[in-house]
A and B are shown apart, each in its own frame.
Chain A
Amino acid sequence: MSGDTRLLALGLIAVLSSASAVSAFLSWRAGGKPSPALDNLNQRIKAWWVMVALIALAFVCGKTGVIVLFALVSFAALREYVTLTFSRRSDHWVLLGMFGIVIPVQYVLVWQEWYGLYSIFIPVYCFLVMPALTALRGDTERFLARVAEQQWGIMLAVYCVSHVPALMTLPIPGFEGRGLLLIAFLIITVQGSDVLQYIFGKLFGRHALSPNVSPSKTWEGLVGGIAGASALGGLLYWLTPFSPPQAAMIAALSCLMGFLGGLVASAIKRDRGVKDWGQMIEGHGGMMDRADSLVFAAPVFFHVVRYLWT
């Protein structure tokens, strides 16, 4: 384990331990009074321990471990997404292909580091082949809605998510063998921004940002969260090939994308009349509830790094 990795691990354990300590203190002060908000906070922090442990385990297993982890994230996210979409019996084989072919092929291409193909496999080839298969089945009932929803699902849950492990494959001069730390930087700043937006929103939130889409999002939360996460990004510059100001700016961009991802995910949930994508992660909801910000941030972060640092 390199010195940087050890420092990162210790830092994460310190942050989670203080979160657990704060929540234990709040529970003690509440004196056994039942409080849904506090229960939820406790569940969320416990789930964070589990998520950090799983990511750490994947990191220990290296490139293959990280690719398998994110393939599973894609599987869980796509399953939640497709559950909420409209499909007919004639879509059965296309849906099976989304899980059984699209996910494995995309991640194998990432594993092979074949940028030329994994960056167009879903937006070009799946985009053309899947509606063709649906048309061949001859069922035209709500055809456009069905094929559009299928394409959206693999773009969000597979294509975008696969850009997280793809960060490992970027050949950055002078940064060889440190791709995992770049992934850690992205996940920590984007997820950190989610947590900070939640905290700033709870403490100072007054002005709703988009009450029709998500009543819990406020301007105060957004500004505080992104400012805090940018500062965090600047402090974590040593994980990346960036200078501190560059790290802060890239973190700000990623977190803004992450915020928009959360907003789009909320709009989809609102459209389908559900509060959460699922119940997979205690206190947080489904996989998509946790990953929505990463979905929007990962491809943009990936391309910024690719164009400016390779």
Chain B
Amino acid sequence: MKNLEEVIGLYTLRLCAFLVVLAIFVILYDILVQGMPAISWEFLTSYPREGMTKGGIWPAVVGTVYVTLITAICSIPLGVGAAIYLSEYAREGWTTRVIRSSIRNLAGVPSIVYGLFGVALFVEGLRFGTSVLSAGLTLGLLTLPWIIATAEEALKSVPQTYREASYALGATKWQTIRSQVLPSAFPGILTGTILGISRAAGETAPILFTGAAFYLPHLPSSPFDQFMALPYHLFNLSTQHHDIEGVRHLAYGTAMVLIGLVLAMNLVAILIRYRLRKQKRN
């Protein structure tokens, strides 16, 4: 009897893990099989034509890259700076607790609320309008807690002996951080940053009303222009288009490019971390 319970119990756990793997494979398989036929050089590099029933996704690709760059520029320096403070300077106390608690809560704020904040602050308050800049800044705020958390972890994993050795040689705190701590934490920070930015690239809700456009016949020429984005394009093709069934293959193609882009960034990050761990073990 005991034996039966044991077997059933452990197999239930296996089943749970299997269900998760199954979900991942169904998602990737369906997108790959249905999306692959739509992908061609022309699909990637041409504009949507004839009311988005034909043609490609070029402006959406460019728009996503553009907005992601702005996100990176505004969130990485701020995030890494905050992480350096928390890891190297902060003393346990009231202020530090408030900062840490804010970061955890920011990470839990729904993305649509960031979207509302982006509308109120960047679009209306600072009068950036619906633009790449507004959307990029909104996504930057969303990514910030993630970057801080992973960068702090990377900084904390730098052995204390590195710092002590540097101080012993007469280096100041900032010199130590700049020439010892940051270089050895760099791969870890890079991993976290890529993961954070890849999430931002796939987000839709925060850019819905801060700058993404349904269709544009041209690429954004300044940060104050509207832009097309891959995730928003997929949303439009699958729910807002006048001929949803007719453009399904385009939607699958867009989904494949989007997932491919995001997962490729993820994979790079995971590989960097994997090599890092191996190095540390040796």
A, B bound: no
Chain B residues close to A by CB (< 8 Å) = none
